[in-house]
Structure 1
C-alpha cells in the first residue's frame, strides 16, 4: 500500500521554472507514484536496500526523502535528493526508517507517497555469509528465445534459502515495465512473455545475508530469425563506374537467405559527401527502377530481417541522355557514288554527325544485296579511313551510333578497274 503525504515541491518547481522559462507541461498532480520495494512495514535482514518505484508518465524527475525513525519524529535525514532515475540503492544500519517519493516536471508535482521499513541484521547463528553471486544456467546472456515462454534457471547457491528475482523490459537502464519482482525458494521458474527485449537479475538470500546481484539480458521472438549479420550481398548491378544512357536506372542485387527486406540508398555524387539523396527506402524485392536525371551517383544496399542486418554492398554509375540520331543519315563525301577508278589506294570520308559517338564502316563485294566477300568492317571514332583495294565491284556504307541510337546505313557504289 502506498501512503500519501500532502505538500508541494515549491522550491524544486521554482528552480525548474527559472531554468525552463515558459514551458507547457503535462499536469501530473493527480497521478500516483507506485512504490515497489521495499514493501511497506518490511523487516529487512540485510543492510543494502534498493528503493524502487514505477516511472510516472509525464514526470521528468523525482524527489526522494529518507529519514529515521519517521517523518513525524525524524532524528536524522539520510537522503533528500532529486534524481531522474527510479532506483536508488543505499547501505543503512539497523533501525527504523520511512521513505517517500514525488514525481515532478516543470509545472506540476505529484503528492508524496511513502512507506516504512525496519532493518535488523542480527544473524540467527545458523546462517552463513553468501559470497559472490548465483550462476545463471538459462537463458544465456544475449540469447534469443523462440516461443513465448522464458525458462529462468540458475545453480543453487550454498547458504541461500531464497532467491530474489527481478525481470524488466527492455532493460534496467531504460525501464519501461516491471514484469517480475519476487522471492522464491526454487532455482527455476517459467515466465510467459511477448516478443521483445528483456533484462533480469537475481541474488541469493538467507535470513541474514544477501549475495551480489547477477544481471543478464535476452530477447523473445515467436519465430526463428536467421542471423545474417555475417552475410554480405554478392553480385549487384550496376557495379562500378557504369555509364547508363536514358532517364532511369534498374538496380538489382543478389538475394540473401534469411533477409526479409533490403534497405536501398542512392546519393549524388557519392554517399560519403552527398549533395542530394535521391532514394532512401526499404523494400522486400531485390530489384527496383528509379528515374534519375543526368549525373554521377553512388548507391548501396543491405539486407535485413527483424533482428539482424547484413553488411553493405555499393556501386557507382553515371546517367546521361543520348541524342536521338535514329532519324538522321550519314552524308558520304568520298569516293563519289558509282565512282569508276583505276586507283587502288582510296580514302573513304564522310561528314561528322552531331550526337554520334562512333561510326560503323562496312565494305562488301559486289553488293549488300549479294555479298560474296566482306572486305572490311570496323567501328571508328574518326570520319576517315584509307584502304588499298583490288580491282572489282564494291559497295560501302557508314552508319553513326551512340549509346542509345543508330542511324540507317548510307551506301555508295565503287568500281575499280585494272590499270
Structure 2
C-alpha cells in the first residue's frame, strides 16, 4: 500500500507541472542575434525593416523601438524574424528577445540608429491616421487624415467600394494638405470600402497606403430563445441557450449577445447582466424562486437587435 501511495504522489507531482512547461524548450540563456539595422545605421526615408536570426525554441519575438528621451515607439510581439515599420525622422534604439509559452531570452543589446528625410519616395510609406483600419461602423466619418511626409509635394486619394467586385467611387489628386473631407453620399450602401493615399514629388512617388472600412447599418436579428423552456423548473445552476439567425446584410459584423436576468417580468430589478460572443451562458442563482431572462444582440458596428421574448424559470 505504501508503494502504491508513493507512486500516486509522484504522479500527482508530475501532473502539477504545466504540460507547456514540460514541452517548451528552455531558451533563458540563449542569445538572439540581430541583423538590421546595425549600430549607427542612418536610414534614408521613413521605412525601416528590422530583422534578426531565427532562434530554435522561440515561438515569438518581442521587439521594442525606443525614441529619444526613452519614449516607446513600439512594443510588439511578432511570430516572424523581421518587421517593417514606418518611423518619423529622428534617432532611435531597438532591441528584441525570443519567447515561448514558458521561457524568454534576455533582450539583445540596444542598437542605436536614425532615420532622415529623403527626396526619393520610392521606398517610403504614407502613414494613415484615421479612420482606423478594419473599422466596423454604422456612422461614416468622412474626414480622412494621414501624417505629412517630408519631401512630398502632393497626395493622391482613392475610395474603392468592394461588393461583388471592386468599384472606384472617388478619386482626387494634387492634395496639398494631410486631410480630405468627402461627401457621405459616396457611401451609398453597406459594403467594404478601401481608402488609399500615396505621396508624390517631382521625381518619385510612394506606393499607396490603404485601410478598410466596413459600413454596416443592418441590425442583428432578434435572438430566439432555445432553453430552458418558458416556466421550466430547474436547479439553481442554469445553462441558457439561444440562436441569432442568419445575418441578411451585405457586411457580416461579429455579434456580442447580452443576457439579462431579472426578478421581475419588467426587468426593473436586474440581478445579472453579462455579454458573450457565444450562444450559451451559465448562471448560478443565489436563491430559489421565479426569474425572468432575455437576450439582446449587438454587432461590432454597434447596431442593436430588439430584445428577445421574455421567458421565466423557477429555480429550486
TM-score strictly above 0.5: no
The structure whose Rg is larger is 1
| Greater RCO (Cα-Cα under 8 Å, separation 6 or more) | 2
Give the TM interval when normalised to the shorter protein: 0.3 to 0.5
TM-score (norm 1): 0.33
